[in-house]
Amino acid sequence: MTAFTRIAKSLVLSLLLASSALTASLLPASARAAEKVNINSADAATLDRVLLNIGPAKAEAIVAYRKANGGFRSAEQLALVKGVGLKTIEKNRDRIVVGGGAPARRPATVARVAPPRATAKR
């Protein structure tokens, strides 16, 4: 009976390991740890591989824009590249690094001030 117990335990352990490996491979890319990319130094292949909704053509456009206009100062400046929108930037916010390695920050929100009300003359 001890041989049967060892085989049964080994089989159960193998099934558990296989199921956890299968589950990890089926997770969407967004659920896995996101790889980061410096948009000021990465080549087109890296941009294509790391950023969501950025294919080879958009990645080449990002590199061409960067060469023509200098480095990006914020993630939002990617929207100046034709074909890259703010929704794409938001989807990739945790993957984008600007310049010296700091993660791209969200822009500060500006408080709106109501205009002064006109007062009635007495």
Kindly state the average pLDDT of the residues 7-16: 66
Task: Report residue 60's pLDDT band, with 50, 70 and 90 as the boundaries.
Answer: very high
Task: Report residue 13's pLDDT band, with 50, 70 and 90 as the boundaries.
Answer: low
Burial 11-41 (b: 16+ CB within 10 A, else e): eeeeeeeeeeeeeeeeeeeeeeebeebbbee
Kindly state the average pLDDT of the residues 81-95: 96
Q: Give the DSSP H or E segment for 48.
A: helix 44-50
Residue 116, by phi and psi: left (phi above 0), alpha (psi -120 to 50) or beta? beta
Residue 15 tokens read as 């099934």
Residue 94 tokens read as 């945790």
Give phi and psi for 97, each to the nearest 5.
-120, 135
CA distance linking residue 73 with residue 5, whole number of Å: 63
Where do the DSSP E strands lie in the chain? 37-38, 96-98, 102-103
Q: In this predicted model, which residue has the larger pLDDT, 7 or 8?
A: 7
- What is the model's pLDDT at position 121? 67
Q: Which domains does the chain have, with CATH numbers?
A: 31-103 (1.10.150.280)
Kindly state the average pLDDT of the residues 37-46: 97
